[in-house]
């Protein structure tokens, strides 16, 4: 696990966007796993800028989103598909056929989840999976107690998660109680995981994920087992890391060829 601490969320996001852009430029068929929420917003904004000002070509990119609410049509303003359209898809040239977001309106949810897993396999697997982290340590919508080997499936959201995601719905009681999410086992099969966390509210979750025991009660802690997990945080989110000074020293003294 590599922990990268930058002074603010913008500088951290620019590093993350650079990692993604390099994959897009160098891989003939790049596959991205995408997340929603506040954490990746500046990454998406930078990728859109690269498309507009530098001609970054997304025409060969395939995407798979982590999750979606059950019962929301794709056009609902609170849906994650609508979020992705607003913040990325409407501004870059990813072919529509290459965009995959879980279908919360699927008539047969278990069958859809099996098909989603097969679509990821058919695409050759995810090259970089972008992740946020919940205040309780969840990744995707894999809430605490989720199996560390789980696959794409339906999950029931905690009240804490519904509160954290209530802005788009006008209150936590209006947030759908269920979701479809990639499983932890699915996420761990990505060739690289790129987790972003910003702000004091995420500090305890970041410390538990990076320096605590590996446990289903902190789903993000499983990333300690991933061969290429990059955790990029701002100073506030890093404020409870015991080894913060060491992580900063390592990043400052990396060989040029090993730079993130």
- The answer to whether residue 138 is catalytic is yes
Burial class (CB in 10 A: 0-12, 13-18, 19+), 214: middle
Q: Which of 130, 128, 131, 133 is nearest to 206 (CA)?
A: 133
* Strand (E) or helix (H) holding 1: none
- Annotated catalytic residue 226: no
Alpha-carbon distance 239 to 248, whole Å? Answer: 12
Query: What length is written for the chain?
Result: 260
Question: Three-state DSSP class for 134?
Answer: coil
d(C-alpha 56, C-alpha 22), whole Å: 10
Asked if residue 16 lies in contact with residue 196, where contact means CB atoms within 8 angstroms, the answer is: yes
Catalytic pick from 46, 68, 117, 136?
136
Cβ neighbors of 49 (< 8 A, separation 6 or more) are none
Would you state the structure tokens that stand for residue 37, as one six-digit string?
A: 């929420």
Catalytic residue among 46, 117, 138, 189: 138
Could you tell me which residues come within 8 angstroms of residue 90 by beta carbon, excluding any fewer than 6 positions away? Answer: none
Q: Is 11 a catalytic residue?
A: no
The pairing of beta strand 2-6 with beta strand 178-181? unpaired
Whether 240 is catalytic: no
Phi, psi of 180 (to 5 degrees): -105, 135
The residue from 143, 164, 189, 234 that is catalytic is: 143
- Find how far residue 146's CA is from the centre of its chain: 17
Please tell me which residue in 67, 103, 189, 236 is annotated as part of the active site. Answer: 67
Tell me the C-alpha distance between 12 and 133, whole Å: 15
Catalytic positions: 67, 136, 138, 143
């Amino acid at each position: 696990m590599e922990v990268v601490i930058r002074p603010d969320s913008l500088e951290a996001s620019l590093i993350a966007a650079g990692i993604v852009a390099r994959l897009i430029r160098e891989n003939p068929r790049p596959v991205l796993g995408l997340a929603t929420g506040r954490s990746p917003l500046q990454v998406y904004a930078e990728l859109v800028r690269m498309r507009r000002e530098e001609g970054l070509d997304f025409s060969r990119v395939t995407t798979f989103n982590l999750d979606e609410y059950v019962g929301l049509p794709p056009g609902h303003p609170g849906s994650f598909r609508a979020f992705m359209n607003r913040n990325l898809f409407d501004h870059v040239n990813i072919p529509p056929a290459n965009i995959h977001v879980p279908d919360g309106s699927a008539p047969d949810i278990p069958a859809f989840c099996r098909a989603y897993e097969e679509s990821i396999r058919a695409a050759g697997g995810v090259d970089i999976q972008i992740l946020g982290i919940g205040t309780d340590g969840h990744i995707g919508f894999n809430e605490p107690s989720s199996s560390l080997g789980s696959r794409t499936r339906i999950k029931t959201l905690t009240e804490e998660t519904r509160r954290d995601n209530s802005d788009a719905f006008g209150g936590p009681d209006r947030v759908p109680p269920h979701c479809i999410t990639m499983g932890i086992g699915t996420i761990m099969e990505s060739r690289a995981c790129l987790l972003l966390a910003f702000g004091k509210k995420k500090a305890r979750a970041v410390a538990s994920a990076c320096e605590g025991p590996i446990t289903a009660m902190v789903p993000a802690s499983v990333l300690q087992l991933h061969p290429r997990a990059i955790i990029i945080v701002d100073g506030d989110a890093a404020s409870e890391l015991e080894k913060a000074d060491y992580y900063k020293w390592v990043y400052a003294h990396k060989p040029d060829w090993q730079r993130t």
